[in-house]
């Protein structure tokens, strides 16, 4: 197969190199196109634009494949832990026992936030969205670092990564405690990453509680399944901000804001709101689906559809299994799960969804597990952010380690008024 593509325009041929990835993905490089022909490419929403060459995560959306650093998501979800997966995503290899032990020690060492940061929480109104607090507090964490780490220094970068991963969990739980008016709970040295998060979320100074092992495992698995997803909206944001040489904290804080939106990480909240509204209204599932299909309604089946997956999202399949296990183990019968199962069944048989290749995505069932774990609705996307942190860190590092790195700066096709003369205010009428 040719490693060049030819573009013909205005009677002239332009040769464009074809870049081939390790999974045989092919991309036409247009780096020199404008210089040679005056043309740029236009792809609103970047639906068919490769923004970088990356070694971190591979997705084949047609076949429903997701791999971190070559390892299938199914194997990691079954055998790995979030912390081991985080190490893999950031540093490229599964850690040895010694490396994992050292990483865990670093996480434990950095689990506390600076005492002065406790006062920052006082400044937010009680109903402040936790995603806003999280983003602000990640930038605040950066202010408490005397020297911000350079990604080239591997021995210090591991510490920077551990510090951020560990402290974000403490900040997230503290934000929740503040929102309900409870005292902030300190992390414990004897608990692992996810157990510690549950401890800080749900224990009280006068109530010792040991997180349920099944819930801990389900949540750890949710973190694994969210840990990276190549060039999605929030990761692209982190890379974009990082490309200006902005520090890790500033870049990740921007990623949190991007994740917040209901078309991205905020969909896990939107799914539960949608299921609740169906339950409250008593609307039949076929009627609801018919309403979604009516373009005039401008409604979407939340938790369905994906820019890249045109097949069942492998993460949704795993979360659905875990959902069944957690609910049956806890003896919970969640009516929202029943509604979700019916919605999926009806949608997957409907030509509208079949033709558009719309399947459940990662957010369709994740909220039901979080509800079962007692996580309040407004913390769902925060949990997504905790899970996505390794991916953001790895992508930020990749941008910084790229010897050919340039600031991210797309072009546009301007379609506004052409040049006109300034009109003094007295002559503008009205
Ligand atoms: N419900 C109903 N119709 C949908 C849905 C949906 N959830 N998703 C896409 N469609 C339809 C669109 O209306 C469009 O139909 P048309 O061709 O008749 O105009 C067609 O499918 C293609 O949709 P696009 O908007 O072009 O798809 P895009 O790739 O831009 O959007 C997205 C992907 C944002 C995920 C979309 O599917 C969506 O809004 N889903 C619901 C929100 C959601 O679950 N987001 C979480 C995504 S996963 C994540 O970020 C973690």
pLDDT at residue 211 in the model: 82
Q: Which residues of the chain fall below pLDDT 70?
A: 1-2, 146-155
pLDDT at residue 400 in the model: 92
- Residue 301 and residue 274: Cα distance in Å, rounded? 8
The CA-atom distances, in angstroms, between 63 and each of 25, 89, 260, 321 are: 14, 22, 28, 19
pLDDT at residue 341 in the model: 94
| Collapsed DSSP state (helix, strand, coil) of residue 290 | helix
pLDDT at residue 5 in the model: 96
- Residue 71 and residue 131: Cα distance in Å, rounded? 30
Q: Which residues have any ligand 1 atom within 6 Å of their CB?
A: 45, 232, 263-265, 267, 292, 300-307, 356, 358, 361-363
pLDDT at residue 239 in the model: 98
pLDDT at residue 153 in the model: 60
The yes-or-no answer on residue 226 being catalytic is no
Tell me how far the alpha carbon of residue 359 lies from the centroid of ligand 1, in angstroms: 10
**Which ligand 1 atom minimizes the distance to the CA of 352?**
3
Residue with CA closest to ligand 1 atom 49:
264
pLDDT at residue 274 in the model: 96
Return the H-helix or E-strand segment holding 60: strand 57-60
Query: Percentage helix, strand, coil, to 5, in the chain?
Result: 55, 5, 40
For the full predicted model, state whether its pTM sits above 0.85: yes
**Which ligand 1 atom minimizes the distance to the CA of 292?**
2
Q: Which one of 48, 292, 305, 352 would you pick to mutate in the ligand 1 pocket, going by the greatest count of ligand atoms within 8 A of its CB?
A: 305
pLDDT at residue 154 in the model: 61
**Which ligand 1 atom minimizes the distance to the CA of 233?**
50
pLDDT at residue 149 in the model: 64
> Which residue of the set 228, 313, 350, 363 is catalytic?
363
* Cβ contacts of 398 within 8 Å, gap of 6 or more: 52, 54, 55, 56, 239
pLDDT at residue 152 in the model: 63
């Amino acid at each position: 197969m040719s490693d060049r593509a030819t573009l013909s325009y205005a009677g002239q041929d332009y040769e464009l190199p074809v870049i081939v990835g390790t999974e045989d993905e092919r991309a036409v490089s247009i780096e020199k196109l404008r210089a040679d022909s005056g043309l740029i490419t236009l792809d609103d929403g970047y639906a068919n634009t490769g923004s970088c060459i990356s070694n971190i995560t591979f997705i084949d959306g047609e076949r429903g494949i997701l791999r971190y650093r070559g390892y299938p998501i199914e194997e990691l979800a079954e055998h790995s832990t979030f912390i081991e997966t985080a190490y893999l995503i950031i540093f490229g290899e599964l850690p040895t026992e010694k490396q994992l032990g050292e990483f865990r020690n670093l996480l434990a060492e950095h689990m506390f936030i600076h005492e002065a940061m406790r006062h920052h929480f006082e400044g937010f109104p009680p109903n402040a969205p936790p995603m806003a607090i999280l983003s602000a507090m990640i930038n605040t964490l950066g202010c408490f670092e005397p020297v911000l780490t350079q990604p080239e220094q591997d021995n210090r970068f591991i510490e920077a990564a551990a510090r951020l991963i560990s402290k974000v969990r403490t900040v997230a739980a503290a934000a929740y405690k503040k929102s309900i008016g409870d005292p902030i709970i300190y992390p414990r040295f004897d608990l692992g990453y996810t157990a510690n998060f549950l401890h800080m979320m749900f224990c009280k100074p006068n109530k010792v509680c040991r997180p349920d092992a099944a819930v801990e495992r389900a949540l750890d698995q949710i973190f694994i399944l969210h840990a990276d997803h190549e060039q999605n909206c929030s990761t692209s944001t982190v890379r974009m901000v990082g490309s200006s040489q902005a520090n890790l904290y500033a870049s990740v804080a921007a990623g949190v804001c991007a994740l917040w939106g209901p078309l991205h990480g905020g969909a896990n909240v939107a799914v539960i709101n949608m299921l609740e509204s169906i339950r409250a209204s008593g609307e039949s599932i076929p009627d609801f689906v018919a309403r979604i299909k009516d373009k005039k309604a401008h409604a979407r089946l939340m938790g369905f559809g994906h820019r890249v997956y045109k097949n069942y999202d492998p993460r949704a399949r795993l979360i659905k299994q875990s959902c069944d296990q957690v609910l049956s183990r806890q003896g919970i019968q969640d009516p929202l799960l029943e509604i979700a199962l019916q919605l999926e069944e009806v949608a997957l048989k409907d030509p509208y969804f079949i033709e558009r290749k719309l399947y459940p995505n990662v957010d369709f069932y994740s909220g039901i597990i979080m509800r079962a774990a007692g996580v309040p609705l407004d913390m769902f996307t925060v949990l997504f952010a905790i899970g996505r942190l390794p991916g953001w860190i790895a992508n930020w590092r990749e941008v910084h380690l790229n010897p050919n790195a340039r600031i991210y700066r797309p072009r546009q096709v301007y379609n506004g008024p052409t040049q006109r003369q300034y009109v003094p205010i007295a002559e503008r009428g009205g």
